[in-house]
Amino acid sequence: MDLFFEIHKDIPREGPGDNDSTRQALSMLKDIPNNPTILDIGCGPGMQTIEIAKNLNGKITGIDINKSFLNRLKKAAKDKNLSDKVETKEMSMFSLEFEENTFDVIWSEGAIYIIGFEKGIKEWKKHIKTGGYLVVSELSWLREDRPKEIEDFWKSNYPSMKGIGDNIKVIEKSGYQSIGHFIIPEKGWWQDYYNPLIKRINELRKKYINNKEANDRMDSTEEEIELYKKYSEYYGYVFYIMKKI
Ligand SMILES: C[S@@+](CC[C@H](N)C(=O)[O-])C[C@H]1O[C@@H](n2cnc3c(N)ncnc32)[C@H](O)[C@@H]1O
C-alpha cells in the first residue's frame, strides 16, 4: 500500500483546523442568501464540508484530486443524512470547471498554499458572485522576531509564507474587501491532525522497522510536529474572510 495513504487513510483532517473555527468563520458571513451555493476547494475528507452543510441551508460542492478523500466525504454526508446538501467532484483547483459568478461562497481550509495564496485568490475570484465571499485558512507568520531554526525550516518548506499584514495587503489589492481574520487555536493542530498522525506513525514504525524510505518520511512528519511544539507562538493557521467587490 502507498505509505501516504497508509498514514492518512482515516486521519480526521488533512491539515490543522477545527469545527469551532469553521463555525467562527461562517458567523462572519453577514449577508449571504438563505440558500447559498458553496464550493469547498481541496476539501480532503471533508470535516469542514460537513460542518458547513450542518450550519447553512444551501448546497456545498467539495472538490479534490484525491478520490479516496472524496469517497470518505460522500460516506460522512450519507451517514449524517446530508447527502442532499453535499456533492463531491474530482477536480483540480488549478482548473475550476465552473461558470463565472457561480458561488455565493468559496471556502478552502489549508489548501490554497498548493496553488499559492495570491494566485488562488485572484484566479478563483471570477467564480464568486459580486458581493460573495472567499474564506481561506493559510499558514502565516505571527511574529517578526523568529528564531533561525524555524525561519529556515519554513523558508525551505514554504518559501512564500507571509505575515498576516502582508496577506491582507494581497487581499485588498486583488479586488476584495477584507472582512476579518483570526488565528485558529492550538487545539486545532493537535486534536484531529497531529495527535492522530503521531499515533499512526507509532504503529507504522513497527511495520516498517527496516524500510529506510518509509522511516525518512515519518521522520520528516515528526520533525514538523516537534517544531510546532517548540515554536507555535511564531506561526499559525489563520482564517482570512474576504468579500468580492
Ligand atoms: C492540507 S489538505 C487540507 C484538506 C482539508 N481541507 C482539511 O482541512 O482537512 C490539502 C488537500 O488538497 C488536495 N489537493 C492537492 N492538490 C490539489 C489540486 N490540484 N486540486 C484540488 N485539491 C488538491 C489534497 O488532496 C488534500 O485533500
Residue 11's pLDDT is: 94
Residue 1's pLDDT is: 61
- Residue of 5, 8, 9, 14 to mutate, ligand 1, most atoms within 8 A of C-beta: 14
The pTM (predicted TM-score) of the whole model is 0.97
Residue 5's pLDDT is: 87
Residue 115 near residue 158 (C-beta atoms within 8 A): no
Residue 161's pLDDT is: 98
Residues of the chain with pLDDT under 50: none
C-alpha 81 to ligand 1 mean position (Å): 24
Residue 237's pLDDT is: 98
Residue 104's pLDDT is: 98
C-alpha 101 to ligand 1 mean position (Å): 23
Cβ of 109 below 6 Å from ligand 1: yes
Question: Which distant-in-sequence residues (6+ apart) come within 8 Å of 93 by Cβ?
Answer: 41, 42, 63, 108, 111, 112, 114, 115, 120, 124
- Residue of 22, 40, 66, 139 to mutate, ligand 1, most atoms within 8 A of C-beta: 66
Using the 8-state DSSP alphabet, how is residue 143 labeled? Answer: -
Residue 9's pLDDT is: 86
What does residue 82 show for φ and ψ, rounded to 5 degrees? -115, 15
Cβ of 17 below 6 Å from ligand 1: yes
- pLDDT per residue over 133-161, tens digit each? 999 999 999 999 999 999 999 999 999 99
Query: Which atom of ligand 1 is found nearest the CA of 66?
Result: 25
- Residue of 20, 114, 137 to mutate, ligand 1, most atoms within 8 A of C-beta: 114
Q: Which residues of 78-89 are buried (b: 16+ CB within 10 A; e: fewer)?
A: eeeeeeebbbbe
Cβ of 40 below 6 Å from ligand 1: no
Domain architecture of the chain: domains with CATH: 14-145+159-185+235-244 (3.40.50.150)
C-alpha 29 to ligand 1 mean position (Å): 23
